[in-house]
Chains A and B, each alone.
Chain A
Amino acid sequence: MIISNIKLVNWKNFKNVEVELTERNFIVGANASGKSNFLDVIRFLRDIVKQAGGLQYAVDQRGGVSKIRCLSGRQVAGVSITIQLASSTNEHEPLWEYALSFKHSGGGIFKNQASIISERVENLKTNQVYSRGTETDGEDSETLKFTHLEQPTVNSEYRDIYYFFQETQYLHIVPQLIRDADSYLLASNKEDYYGRNLLDKMNRTNKKTRDSYLRRINDILQIAVPQLKNIDFITDDKGIPHLEAIYQHWRAKGAKQQEAQFSDGTLRLIGFMWALLDGQETILLEEPELYLHSAIVKQIPEFIYKMQRRKGRVRQVFISTHSYDILSNEGIGGNETIILIPSKEGTGIFKALDLKDIKKQLDAGFTIAESVIPKIAPSNIQQMLEF
């Protein structure tokens, strides 16, 4: 399945927005326009359904409802998220709609927490609706702390949504953290913001699958980083997993290196390819261009397009980016580009084709980079030099 539509009310810097999505989505916007906050909606839903997760956990992870609620959302108390899921073979065939709205409760001697205002699931094929809220019989402040989506005893009719979000992947690797062997233990049961768990993830994949992924990663690294050969996966005598490769130098046999010695770019590239190979559902990639040579970055759009299509199935990908090289790929469409434009009343979300000035430029033959990057650049940026 793919996420075909997202509607947000009061979510972080989005006051009231709605956007249609497709198989491949490039999220672009100035700094602090809300690219990560937008992707965070999907991670939030994943936090709700994941093992040892749940609504309270997802809200806590983000510092409570007050940190989630939009600063521009003056009149409306709650935060609402509505998503539609469509078939991945036909994005125009919607399957599910899930809507969740929650607000802050507690304070004083009561614990701060999130309380559900309403939760609604609709099967868009059969039009069957499952709905609950503060007015529903049998609900009280305790039951309203938990979504039905997170509870396997209640969600059997829409288990597909539950599985879908469990399988979404987020990747934003900070190489320094992978190299830090101590963080392997620390991060094991926490949310993996920065790819600390990458090695752990590899460890938990069964050997046959892992070997086949590593073979493909090797083939590509061979082209991008020719000095590095035979990437392999090993566990040391303490049981901690490592990546190992042969670094070719003046000695005939080369030298063995582990991930701590890999370059930033190599680690990012490995993580990026692993996510694309391993992801079963929607994959969120945060700035895949970081640390990579522009010649590699230029290949990213086509590379992702190919990697999304495996075994006759298309997996949705979101890519947040600032990269001119990525966006100058001429195969990127105006429906695949999502532009965030901040204003005093929250950030707006637009598809490139829906903005008249951008559409005019695209029709005139501009690439996405040529038309979109000037649009989102801070208007007085040259003043940075006047200090």
Chain B
Amino acid sequence: MKVDIVGEDEVTRAVLKRMISAYRNDLSIDKILPVRGGQIKVSAPKYNLLQSPVILLTDLDVYDCPPSLIQDWFGNTALNSSYLFRIAYGETESWLMADRKGFSKWINADINLIPLPSIVDKRKNIIEIIFPYKPSLYMMKKIASASKNDTIRDSLLPKEGAKKGPLYNSILVPFIEKIWNIEDAAKNSTSLAKTLERLKSF
């Protein structure tokens, strides 16, 4: 089956590709959308109108909970069954760091720099790693800066006025493709574990 994937940045798209190739190699990726990152919120309802399979991953970011994001993006429109719409708690980067052992070893910094997961909702049994601020920023400022590897520091520390490190994608994508342990990460992030479940049954 052919599927289009939607992610607003290089890292999100790499995460989707890796998950599909690891758990659903019967799916082949057709188009990679959208062309420009900022378009994702505007385009999200349009993918719902396509009658073909689409997998979208976005960041929860400033929203309190996934239902409020969905309400804001789609109103009361129901999502099509061929549309897998998933939201990463915090940012996609949180899912990467949720593989605490693999990530800290790769980035060559102390594992304790990545917070332990905490309970977000006791009743629904939701656990996630909660970062003190934007997870990608925390990764660059707190974890990468403590790395013992010069190349990693140079690649991930942002230059003045830049939002990300100069080789942010170039260095993270190979980690996602080759090292990231999805099962380990899913133990620390319910949003990832549920996405995995949904992907398997998609």
Number of interface residues of A (CB under 8 A): 24
- Are A331 and B159 in contact (CB-based, < 8 A)? yes
Given A294-B35, A328-B36, answer yes or no on A333-B167 (Cβ-Cβ < 8 Å): no
**In the assembly, what is the distance between CA of A353 and CA of B170, in Å?**
25
Residue contact B161 to A359, C-beta cutoff 8 Å = yes
- Tell me whether A302 and B36 are in contact in the complex, defined as CB-CB below 8 angstroms, given that A334-B161, A353-B161 are known contacts: no
CB of A362 within 8 Å of the partner chain = yes
Which of B36, B166, B168 has the most C-beta atoms of chain A within 10 angstroms of its own C-beta?
A: B166
B163 close to chain A: CB less than 8 A: yes
CB-CB under 8 A from A362, the residues of chain B are 161
| A binding-site residues for B, Cβ under 8 Å | 24, 294, 301-302, 305-306, 324-325, 328, 330-337, 352-353, 359, 362, 365, 367-368
Contact with A along B36-66 (1 / 0, CB 8 A): 1100000000000000000000000000000
| Minimum-distance CB pairs A-B, first 7 | A334-B161, A333-B159, A333-B162, A330-B164, A330-B163, A331-B166, A333-B161
A306 contacts across to B, CB distance below 8 A = 167, 170
With A302-B169, A306-B170 as given contacts, are A333 and B158 in contact (CB-CB < 8 Å)?
yes
- Please report the C-alpha to C-alpha distance between residue A362 and residue B160 in the assembled complex, in whole angstroms: 10
Bound CA span A24–B159, Å:
11
Q: Is the CB of A365 within 8 A of B163?
A: yes
Asked if B102 is at the interface (CB within 8 A of a chain A CB), the reply is no
Contacting residues of chain B (163-187) with chain A, CB-CB under 8 angstroms: 163-170
Chain B positions near chain A (C-beta within 8 angstroms): 35-37, 158-170
- Give the chain A neighbours of B35 by CB distance below 8 A: 294
Contacts of A24 in B (CB 8 A): 166
A334 engages B162 (CB within 8 Å): yes
Least distance between A374 CB and chain B CB atoms (Å): 14
Question: Cβ of B165: which chain A residues have Cβ within 8 Å of it?
Answer: 331
5 contacts between A and B (CB under 8 A): A305-B170, A306-B167, A331-B159, A335-B159, A353-B160
List residues of chain B with CB within 8 A of the CB of A332.
Answer: 159, 162, 166
- Chain A residue nearest in CB terms to B134: A365
On whether the beta carbons of A330 and B162 are closer than 8 Å, the reply is yes
Contact between A367 and B163, CB atoms less than 8 A apart: yes
Q: Is the CB of A328 within 8 A of B161?
A: no
Whole-angstrom distance between the alpha carbons of A359 and B37 in the complex? 22
By a CB distance below 8 angstroms, the chain A residues around B36 are 324-325, 328
A305 to B35, CA, bound (A): 23
Are A330 and B168 in touch, CB under 8 angstroms?
yes
Chain B residues whose C-beta falls within 8 Å of the C-beta of A365 in the assembled complex: 163
- In the complex the two chains form, is B158's CB within 8 Å of A331's CB? yes
- Chain B residues with Cβ under 8 A from A333's Cβ? 158-162, 166
A302:B170 contact, CB within 8 angstroms: yes
- Which residue, of A302, A336, A365, has the highest number of chain B Cβ atoms within 10 A? A302
B37 nearest in chain A by CB position? A328
Q: How far is the CA of A336 from the CA of B166 in the complex (A)?
A: 11
Residue picked from B161, B167, B169, B170, most chain A C-beta under 10 Å? B161
Task: Report which of B159, B163, B166 forms a contact with A302, defined as CB distance below 8 A.
Answer: B166
Whether B167 lies near A305 (C-beta < 8 A) is yes
Q: State how many angstroms separate the Cβ of B151 from the closest Cβ of chain A.
A: 9
Chain A residues with Cβ below 8 Å from B164 are 330-331
Known contacts A302-B167, A331-B167, A335-B160, then 19 further A-B pairs from the complex at CB < 8 Å, ordered by chain A residue: A302-B170, A305-B166, A305-B170, A306-B167, A328-B36, A330-B164, A331-B159, A331-B165, A331-B168, A332-B159, A332-B162, A333-B161, A334-B160, A334-B162, A353-B161, A359-B161, A362-B161, A367-B163, A368-B161
Write out the residue numbers on chain B whose beta carbons fall within 8 Å of the beta carbon of A336.
Answer: 159, 162
Closest B residue to A24 by CB, please name it: B166
**Interfacial chain A residues near B159, Cβ < 8 Å:** 331-336
Determine the residue in chain B with the shortest Cβ distance to A332: B162
A353 to B162, CA, bound (A): 10
Q: Chain B residues near A330: list those with CB within 8 A.
A: 162-164, 168
Report A82 CB to chain B, min CB distance, Å. 25
Q: In the bound complex, how far is the Cα of B164 from the Cα of A332, in angstroms? A: 8
- Residues on B with C-beta less than 8 A from A302 are 166-170
Complex-state Cα separation, A284 to B178, whole angstroms = 35
C-alpha spacing A212/B121, complex, angstroms: 57
| Contact residues in B for A368 (Cβ distance below 8 Å) | 161
CB neighbours of A331 from chain B (8 A): 158-159, 162-168
Q: How far is the CA of A336 from the CA of B160 in the complex (A)?
A: 9
Residue in B closest to A351 when the chains form the complex, CB atoms: B161
Closest to A363 in B: B161
Q: Which residue of B lies closest to A308 (CB)?
A: B166
Give the docked Cα–Cα distance between A368 and B170 (Å).
19
- Inter-chain CA distance A310–B67, complex, in Å, is 49
Least distance between A271 CB and chain B CB atoms (Å): 22
